[in-house]
Structure 1
Amino acid sequence: MEAPRPLPVVLGTAGHIDHGKSALIEALCGTHPDRWREEKERGITLDLGYAQLNFEDGLEIGFVDVPGHERLVRKMVAGATGMGAAMLVVSCDDGVMPQTREHFEVLQLLGVKHGLVALSKVDLADEEMVALVHAEVEELLQDSLWPQAPCIPVSAHTGEGLPELRQALRDLALQARSADKSHHAFRLPVQRSFALHGAGTVVTGVCASGGLQEGQVVEVQPGGGRSRVRRIQVHGRVSPEARPGLRTALNLPDLQPEQCPRGTVLVEPDLVRSGTLLRVLVRALPEAPPMAHGHPVQALAGTASVSGRIFLPPAAQEAGKKAWADGASWLVDLELDEAMALVPGEIILIRRPSPPLNLAAGSFLGFGPKRLRRRDQAQRKALHDLAEALGDAPALVAKVLELGSGKPAVVKEVASYLGWTPQATLEALQSACQRGLARGVAGDRYVGMGRAGALFQEVAAVVAHFREKHPHRLRMPVQQIRSRLGKERSKTLEALSAEELQGLGLKRHSGLQWQILDAQAPVEIDQAGSTIAARLKSSGLAPTGRDELSELCPNGVSIDQVLEYLIDSGQVLRPEGELFFWREAVEDLRLAVVAQLQGDGMNIPALRDRFETTRKYLMPLLEFLDHRGVTARRGPNRILRDAEAPLDG
């Protein structure tokens, strides 16, 4: 079997305008990256700002050439889709320029951890100038993600340094290729969409994660439009599939270009969300002006650029300008004017709209229904915990389970929150259960152990309180727990398996009660119960009245508690009001009724005579059998429904 081709490494090139990025790429690859008009006219290809460098062993580097002028920083963010590494180009005859710093700043904000510096146009500078620029670059790299990045003097014109740069790029690509996005479902941020005569809509971009095959259906987020994929081209060639990091064009005949404009994302249906209220963990740039509550901002992620406002937590509001000192980070709400499709962990660049300036970068953590308030401290902590779990799949799915109401979640709910494939999500959930971070409930649902642990502690407290107040009870009404936990959290408990409930000392009982497994009534209740049970047993279906039963109880023992104990233990049934019957007598009546209905039909006088009772007691018992599902009324008659239906309430 042929081994799968290794995924290519997307490598961005950044730097000041006219520092020779495009010429350097052309010298390395033999392809000038800026040919998109020609490619668009040729067909479904994607070489907008791209070129590729292939090595003999199959390693491939796809270059993203970023425009150098400041107004196109948003294209730099778009180019970062799938970017594993970057090359900063600094001209030896110019040195570090303002846009050099800004582009490097953006690379740092976007979390590009692998990089090198090409000192271009070395043929236009003397040795002293080259050394000066080299020192300037080393100063720029200090306290960055690239403190030890190699600096390669090179000339696209003469070829000087090209072999050394090529080898350095190879080493860099091998370092960057270790990034694993195998959990993620298919995502392709749209860079261009247009109509092609005879083919229909064509969408181009870089596949950010996951895989896609010809014939599959993709969804546009935001928007929700869907289309079958008629044809795929990768690197300008027809391909049966798209893979992460590959420059991809998709023919989508079921969509119009305006349905999938730049800034939208093509995704696997139902597995990636979009919204306008974003939870983002933000860290500001040290020299950026502080952001105030409600400050207008521009949010850039993937190919999208959307205006909105930033809303700070109360502590940051109270700290004022000091909130952003010393590299502090805050969980903020970003309210956008238009929806954006994102997955947790995706980086968002936050800029001042006018005059344009980079302010901060943030890690997207999720969408919200409304802004967080001061009282939402538990939700803030859960989101901070989620941020810390990024990169650890089992821990991350467990933290997702801790969000929201805490009710059990199915695999697809977790997958759509994270933008992962269902299979990868299931495997991560199973690992989380093995690590004690989550637990499965009711077969296909999961709950985080933080939520589950707190919930189970609360249930234990409710049960203990109930037993303290009602020591004679062997069963507990479900409503006792529902009223304490609330509707949503009660669903978690009610979804537990019998084994899991047993761990809490509970067992489901028919009706609306749970049996308390280790409950034992006080001795005096148990002894009085034996006396009362004997009387009811001898009474058959003509029971002793409550007042007479009360006289059988010793002083200080409540007849109500004794009767509740006998009902909980299953010895006595209470059809209605003050009527109490020995269970075996009612079971005998059930058998007689079933036999009649399976034969010639109901004969009430015969039942009355057989059980030596009266209509006063018999009719409530027959209605009790109706209520329990043994029989049912059909006009003046009764029919048999379920001869084995349980009689317990």
Structure 2
Amino acid sequence: MQNIIVGTAGHVDHGKTCLIKALSGFDTDRLKEEKKRGITIDLGFANLPNDAGLHIGIIDVPGHEKFVKNMLAGIGGIDLVLMVIALDEGVMPQTTEHFEILKMLHIKQGILVLTKSDMVDEEWAEMVEADVEDMVRGSFLEHAPVLRVSSYTGENIGLLHDTIIRMVSDLGSRSSEPELFRLPVDRVFTTEGFGTVITGTLQEGMVQTGQEVMLYPRERPIKIRGIQSHGQREDAAYAGQRTALNLLNVKKEELQRGDVLAFPGSLVTSTLVDVKLSIFQTSDRELKTGDRIHLNYGAAQTIAKAVLMDKDRIGHGESAYAQIRFDEPVVLKRNDRFIIRFLSPVETFGGGIVLDASPYKHRRGDEEAIEALRKKETGTDQEVMELMIKEESRRFPSVGRIAADMDMPKSRASHMISTLKDSKHILILSDESVIHMDYWKTIADYADRLLSGYHRENPINEGMDKEEFKSRLSEEFRLNDMRKGAVLLAELVKRMVVRTQGTYVSGKDFSTQYSRELKGMLEQIGTIYAQAGIEAPLTVDVLNQFKDKNRAKQIIADMHKNGKLVKLNPASYMDSAAYGQVLARLKDYLTENGEISLGEFRDMCGTSRKYAVQMLEFMDKKKITKMVGEKRVLIS
């Protein structure tokens, strides 16, 4: 069933609440204070009876200027507005203010309802009607139906009812994908036997009983115990419905007006938002960069600083790109509409549209940032998605995060990402994170520079240790998850930017090379180990014979890798030829005698006990020999 929200707007005491009662039979003044004072303080709700099979909810919003923030909470999610002007008073200050808010929030259609027709004569009514036509000229209400009604006599109430049904019947359904579920909380209360209940207008998606949702901006999971809509218990609620949700395991005090319930992961909290700001045509105030403002979105009101990107100040009818910087985290989405008000005096004077709900901090006048904002305002979804992926690449966003940033279902975001991948504009890594090809080139260029520098310094090393390479990637690209280094290494290998062998990473075309100087050192080191024979010197003693100890250490490691040296233990190497001779003699001896003592082995080798122990322990470790009592035997 199609769900429609109709809202009222207009000056205080122009008959909005009486009009709704006449249309629906329901009195929306539910608070005692409202009854006492005769004005609507908070949001009121009623259902509009009809035979068209539509769920039509009417929101009665306050008209008094002190209650504008409550009016903003209700007006943001409506499909059609009843712009109410009393014929006995005509266009008043809050009439103009509400009208400007409606335009800023991009309300698309409405009806001009001229109330209290029983209280004026025709001449006066025509004069008021002319004023109203002047006010709405050039706006979405310019060609709207104009109806004179009386809630007291019932004049044209039936016609208004039928006009509403006719206009909303042509509206398309709102998006109902579960992952788009978003409900700004405008009331929180408790009911006996049920506990905590919140209400709001379900802006997007749908929600079911028993479903776990997320409370933003605190990002707390909460379970739905029950759902009520249009006065009935329901198993599910859909976009466009006034909805009450009974919540499990959360106290009333833990919730507040302005919170948002949404599908887990569908919103991103941020203290920065990029926007296009506009000042009302009717405002005589101006906004200077750095001014602190009230910002109203959904049911929330928060304080922020407006930093204009491309101008120093804007006045009536003017617009500018801006970054809004909040004191506390907020949850907005791309294309959300909002209203701004001065801190003091509290006066509504403009609003705008969200272009990026979680940007990086910009510098004023940054031409690249301004051009990006221009593209986010006017570009296609595909163009904006590519730009956002380019900006977000250093965060390695997931498909879900991109879908949240773009305010679209994950399935649609995935399709667009596949298109960008096929056109080679983006890259999807093995962990499903998405980066722009420009950022990938930055990573690949860094890896190439890193290894080129390493190979210059270590020309005979096989390559950089894998763990060190991943650590350097993590440090350079500020990877919070160390596993991301392995993901990037795998992609670098896959794309043949680097190659790996064992525990080493090297450039794709690297091969060890000995200069004339290094060849000389190689011969010297080879001679040292050959002359030492079984009496393998400590590595540190060999290194101390050379001025460039680092090069000497690299050569020893390379000789070991190429089989010219045997590593007996962490502190010493042995010439491979000498080791082979000793091993052959030992095997012959054990084959003939079956066992050998330490002293017999020492005498056979003609060396000291120290070197004999070192050799035998190495052979034990290699499982060539093993200890049996005080002697060693050959392992078959």
Question: Quick one: structure 1 residues 473 and 109, their matched pair in 2 at CA, closer, same or farther if it must change by over 3 Å?
Answer: farther
Match of 2:9 in 1: 14
TM-score normalized by the length of structure 1: 0.69
| Cα displacement (A) at 1:215 | 2.0
Match of 2:590 in 1: none
Query: Which of the numbers 318, 325, 349 marks the counterpart of 1:359?
Result: 349
Match of 2:336 in 1: 346
CA deviation vs aligned residue, 1:64-103 (integer Å, no higher than 9, x gap): 2222121111112110343234232234443322111100
Match of 1:170 in 2: 166
Match of 1:279 in 2: 273
CA deviation vs aligned residue, 1:15-37 (integer Å, no higher than 9, x gap): 12233333444444444444467
Match of 2:145 in 1: 151
CA deviation vs aligned residue, 1:301-339 (integer Å, no higher than 9, x gap): 222223x341526x66xx644699842221231325xx5
Match of 1:503 in 2: 495
Match of 1:444 in 2: 432
Residue 94 of structure 2 aligns to a residue whose secondary structure is helix
Work out the CA distance in 2 between the residues paired with 1:524 and 1:95: 95
Work out the CA distance in 1 between the residues paired with 2:221 and 2:551: 68
Query: 2:507 corresponds to which letter in structure 1?
Result: I
Residue 70 of structure 2 aligns to a residue whose secondary structure is helix
| Cα displacement (A) at 1:213 | 1.6
Query: Which of the numbers 500, 507, 523 marks the counterpart of 1:516?
Result: 507
CA deviation vs aligned residue, 1:120-150 (integer Å, no higher than 9, x gap): 4556556655554444334333454x16542
Question: Quick one: structure 1 residues 174 and 435, their matched pair in 2 at CA, closer, same or farther if it must change by over 3 Å?
Answer: farther
Contact 1:52 1:63 in 2 (8 A): yes
Work out the CA distance in 1 between the residues paired with 2:23 and 2:605: 102
Work out the CA distance in 2 between the residues paired with 1:612 and 1:243: 92
Residue 170 of structure 2 aligns to a residue whose secondary structure is helix
**5+ residue gaps, structure 1:** 39-46, 547-557, 590-599, 632-649
User: Which 10-residue stretch deviates more, 614-623 or 63-72?
Assistant: 614-623
Query: 2:345 corresponds to which letter in structure 1?
Result: P
Match of 2:324 in 1: 332
Query: Which of the numbers 292, 297, 307 marks the counterpart of 2:293?
Result: 297
Aligned length: 573
Match of 1:160 in 2: 156
Query: 1:245 corresponds to which letter in structure 2?
Result: G
| Cα displacement (A) at 1:480 | 6.6
| Cα displacement (A) at 1:12 | 2.0
Query: 2:224 corresponds to which letter in structure 1?
Result: V
Question: Quick one: structure 1 residues 454 and 141, their matched pair in 2 at CA, closer, same or farther if it must change by over 3 Å?
Answer: farther
**5+ residue gaps, structure 2:** 34-41, 540-549, 584-593, 624-636
Contact 2:175 2:239 in 1 (8 A): no
Contact 2:470 2:485 in 1 (8 A): no
Query: 2:305 corresponds to which letter in structure 1?
Result: I
1:486 aligns with 2:475: yes
Match of 2:81 in 1: 86
Match of 1:549 in 2: none
| Cα displacement (A) at 1:222 | 4.4
| Cα displacement (A) at 1:14 | 1.0
Residue 261 of structure 1 aligns to a residue whose secondary structure is coil
Residue 140 of structure 1 aligns to a residue whose secondary structure is helix
TM-score normalized by the length of structure 2: 0.70
| Cα displacement (A) at 1:340 | 4.3
Question: Quick one: structure 1 residues 322 and 299, their matched pair in 2 at CA, closer, same or farther if it must change by over 3 Å?
Answer: closer
Contact 2:339 2:351 in 1 (8 A): yes
Query: Which of the numbers 97, 101, 108 marks the counterpart of 2:96?
Result: 101
Work out the CA distance in 1 between the residues paired with 2:215 and 2:298: 14
Work out the CA distance in 2 between the residues paired with 1:284 and 1:493: 44
| Cα displacement (A) at 1:268 | 4.0
User: Which 10-residue stretch deviates more, 479-488 or 226-235?
Assistant: 479-488
Contact 1:89 1:119 in 2 (8 A): yes
Query: 2:59 corresponds to which letter in structure 1?
Result: V
**Percent of residue pairs identical:** 24
Query: 1:155 corresponds to which letter in structure 2?
Result: V
Q: How does 1:63-78 map to 2 (within 5 A)?
A: 63-78=58-73
Question: Quick one: structure 1 residues 477 and 150, their matched pair in 2 at CA, closer, same or farther if it must change by over 3 Å?
Answer: same
| Cα displacement (A) at 1:441 | 1.1
